[in-house]
A and B are shown apart, each in its own frame.
Chain A
Amino acid sequence: MSEFFGIILRSLEYGSIYALASLSIILVFRTSFTTNFAQGMIAMFSTYFVATLIHKSGLPLGVAFVLGLIFALLLGFLIDIIVIRRAAKLSPVGKQIITLGVLSIILGLTPNIFGVYDLNMPKFIPQGDMKIAGTSISYNALLNIGLGLLVMLTLYYVLHRTKAGLAIRTTAENAPVARLMGVSTKLVTMFAWGVAGCLSLLAGMMASPFSQVSTTFMNDIQITAFLACLLGGFTTFFGAVAGSYIIAIASNLLQVYLPQGTVWGKPILYILLIGFLFLKPFGLFGKRYVKKV
């Protein structure tokens, strides 16, 4: 029983990472109607930036992280201004291809800027753990879980209680109407890309101590986050978050209880998710949409 509880507790940490990654995808999707395949690369790139600041410039983690957030914000702005804005008139598939182009550019730039070696990323809290109901969990994991929740609550507050949030929600609901009402949808979209970059960086910072900072360390998280978005219906922020935690728990259960789970857990999880989405293509919470002809 305590093993099971331990799995759930650890899943919460992974759930936070997936939730941040999938929130960034949904944020971009709702405001610029783009499924951003480059989101994981943006996370990878900014995490590399932070790791390089720590290793090469010897900055403390906290300072490097703050600089990293600014970097991710600007990176998001830049991608929106230079590329995405011009793609507004493309079909959804056309926009997807554009983001794949962005993915290719970032992936190609990384070794040229940050070098070809994988880098270590220190944890926010290097050591120490505590026992909860017979299971030990590190302070860092608790912090990650807390940070994830904090970010989500902040995002919820901003979206539902502030003027900026109203602008975002109006843009997401109906961009032309939002423009008529005086919302600068361009600004909203730009900030959505920037904030999504920051959320991605945070996800990258939490995930990288588990492996190392490499060009591929965000790939699985990106795919999982996409599937979490689909599971949540791909429209609501809540759905994406719920999907993330569900997948994190399922993933950990498979890895522990499946024979050779650490090897085959991931592909089997993907197959199960695709199977589920085949039966319920609009996810757990999504609504069916009828095309008018």
Chain B
Amino acid sequence: MDRQLNTFQRIYKNPYLQFLIVGVLFALLPTLRAAGMVKAGTVTVIGTTLIYTIAALGLNILLGYSGLISLGTAGFMGLAAYCSAYFTEQLALPFWQSLILALLIPTVLGVIVGLLSMRFVGIYLGIATLAVGEILSEIFRQWDAFTRGTSGARAKYPKIFGMQLDQTGMYYLIVIITIIVFILVYQLLKGRLGRALNAMRGSEAAAMAMGISVYKYRLIAFGAATLLASLAGVLYVHYIRISYPTIWGLPLSLDFLAIIVIGGLRSIYGTLVGSFVIFAMSELVLKQIPYMENYSLVLKGVLIIIFILFYPYGLAHVVSDLRMRLGRRKTKVHPLAAKEEDIDG
């Protein structure tokens, strides 16, 4: 059954090497810009896209692996962004201290929402997280002392290891963090924990019978998802250097959902590809086409529906699907198919 891999295959199939290559490719971008081959704006768009990838990866742990929906991702990302802006600017804390606080505060809140998920099963959770996102939005709009309201909270490029970063330096930091996140998420989910989350989604009864504490793993899933959203928020506010309340609303949370549905549930590369489709495409491609810019929301909606209905494994599985069509692979199961008890409500 196991085909023997030759040396070449063994190298290019090594996941760590793949992550590194992806990282190096992204790191080349500023050099290409210096050579005049890429526009400066493109680098910013790609940097932002990587930031969104990190947050979407968090949602993928939650929805893809654990089957728990959250419409609060943008709210948590925004909370971290505002925290970091507030701590570094108003309280003048060093970047590292601010970072730890800005990751910790939303994550604690995220775990509390995870506690809610103990009681809000299935359909209820989407509604509860929608309300939580709305509460956060309202706080961003109204609490001027913390968020500077509609005039926006400002932040600077950070200083790390005694080095003051500029825009390009911040871009490199984003690439490095993205690749580290990829590697850590990959390691976290490829074994026991990933299986436990999968079991929780696929059959709660089986999970409990196999000694998996659904309670514990839901909290872990929510914690991990919020931590990644917070990390993305901190990177965002120190890269774009301003945060407005309007950014962190439901449409952004929907974008994260679209990313993982289109890119691929339970796939790291899928999340990356999905981010590019949702953010980079509309910024880099759609804006070039007359009228299309105004239809990006429509396009996202159509893509969400088409992918869920007809291509539920997302773009991440194009290659394996092609192989399957050629008769070399095994059949697949719809990842969001109803279980027996769901059919009649």
**A–B contact via C-beta, under 8 angstroms:** yes
Q: Decide if A264 is an interface residue (CB 8 Å cutoff).
A: yes
Of the candidates A87, A104, A106, A220, which one forms a contact with B254 in the assembled complex, judged by CB atoms under 8 Å apart? A104
Contact flag A96-B116 (CB < 8 Å), given A101-B305, A105-B298, A274-B132: no
Q: Smallest CB–CB gap between A214 and chain B, Å?
A: 13
What is the bound-complex CA distance between A291 and B300, given in angstroms?
36
Of the candidates A86, A273, A291, which one forms a contact with B341 in the assembled complex, judged by CB atoms under 8 Å apart? A291
Q: Decide if B259 is an interface residue (CB 8 Å cutoff).
A: no
Q: Are A104 and B300 in contact (CB under 8 A)?
A: yes
Q: Which of chain B's residues have a CB closer than 8 A to the CB of A83?
A: 305, 309
Q: Decide if A234 is an interface residue (CB 8 Å cutoff).
A: yes
Q: Which of chain B's residues have a CB closer than 8 A to the CB of A30?
A: 345
What is the bound-complex CA distance between A97 and B64, given in angstroms?
12
What is the bound-complex CA distance between A32 and B198, given in angstroms?
27
Count of chain B residues near A, Cβ 8 A: 55
What is the bound-complex CA distance between A97 and B302, given in angstroms?
12
Q: Are B127 and A35 in contact (CB under 8 A)?
A: yes
Q: Smallest CB–CB gap between B203 and chain A, Å?
A: 9
Q: Smallest CB–CB gap between A128 and chain B, Å?
A: 34
Q: Decide if B130 is an interface residue (CB 8 Å cutoff).
A: yes
Q: Which of chain B's residues have a CB closer than 8 A to the CB of A234?
A: 123-124
Of the candidates A97, A104, A271, which one forms a contact with B308 in the assembled complex, judged by CB atoms under 8 Å apart? A97
Q: Smallest CB–CB gap between B52 and chain A, Å?
A: 16
Q: Decide if B63 is an interface residue (CB 8 Å cutoff).
A: yes
Q: Are B309 and A104 in contact (CB under 8 A)?
A: no
Q: Which residue on A lies nearest to B129, using beta carbons?
A: A274
Contact flag A227-B304 (CB < 8 Å), given A91-B336, A104-B298, A108-B298: no
Q: Decide if A278 is an interface residue (CB 8 Å cutoff).
A: yes
Q: Decide if A266 is an interface residue (CB 8 Å cutoff).
A: yes
Of the candidates A35, A103, A112, A270, which one forms a contact with B131 in the assembled complex, judged by CB atoms under 8 Å apart? A270
Q: Decide if B225 is an interface residue (CB 8 Å cutoff).
A: no
Q: Which residue on B lies nearest to A101, using beta carbons?
A: B304
Question: Which residues of chain B from 241 to 274 have any CB-CB distance to chain A below 8 Å in the complex?
Answer: 250-251, 254, 257-258, 261
Q: Are A267 and B69 in contact (CB under 8 A)?
A: no
Q: Which of chain B's residues have a CB closer than 8 A to the CB of A97?
A: 69, 257, 261, 304, 308, 336
Q: Decide if A131 is an interface residue (CB 8 Å cutoff).
A: no
Q: Which of chain A's residues have a CB closer than 8 A to the CB of B297?
A: 104-105, 107-108
Q: Are A270 and B119 in contact (CB under 8 A)?
A: no
Q: Smallest CB–CB gap between A161 and chain B, Å?
A: 24
Q: Which of chain A's residues have a CB closer than 8 A to the CB of B131?
A: 223, 226-227, 270, 273-274
What is the bound-complex CA distance between A107 and B296, given in angstroms?
10
Q: Smallest CB–CB gap between B56 and chain A, Å?
A: 14
Q: Decide if A56 is an interface residue (CB 8 Å cutoff).
A: no
Q: Are A264 and B134 in contact (CB under 8 A)?
A: no
Q: Smallest CB–CB gap between A45 and chain B, Å?
A: 12
Q: Are A91 and B339 in contact (CB under 8 A)?
A: yes
Q: Smallest CB–CB gap between A287 and chain B, Å?
A: 13
Q: Smallest CB–CB gap between B214 and chain A, Å?
A: 13
Q: Which residue on B lies nearest to A293, using beta carbons?
A: B205
Q: Are A103 and B301 in contact (CB under 8 A)?
A: yes
Q: Are B336 and A94 in contact (CB under 8 A)?
A: yes
Contact flag A93-B128 (CB < 8 Å), given A104-B254, A107-B251, A270-B135: no
Q: Which residue on B lies nearest to A275, using beta carbons?
A: B116
Q: Decide if A62 is an interface residue (CB 8 Å cutoff).
A: no
Across chains A and B, which 8 residue pairs bring their CB atoms closest together, nearest first? A108-B297, A104-B301, A94-B336, A101-B304, A105-B301, A108-B298, A101-B305, A281-B119
Given contacts A97-B257, A172-B345, A223-B127, 6 further A-B contacts (CB under 8 A): A93-B69, A94-B336, A101-B308, A104-B301, A107-B297, A277-B120
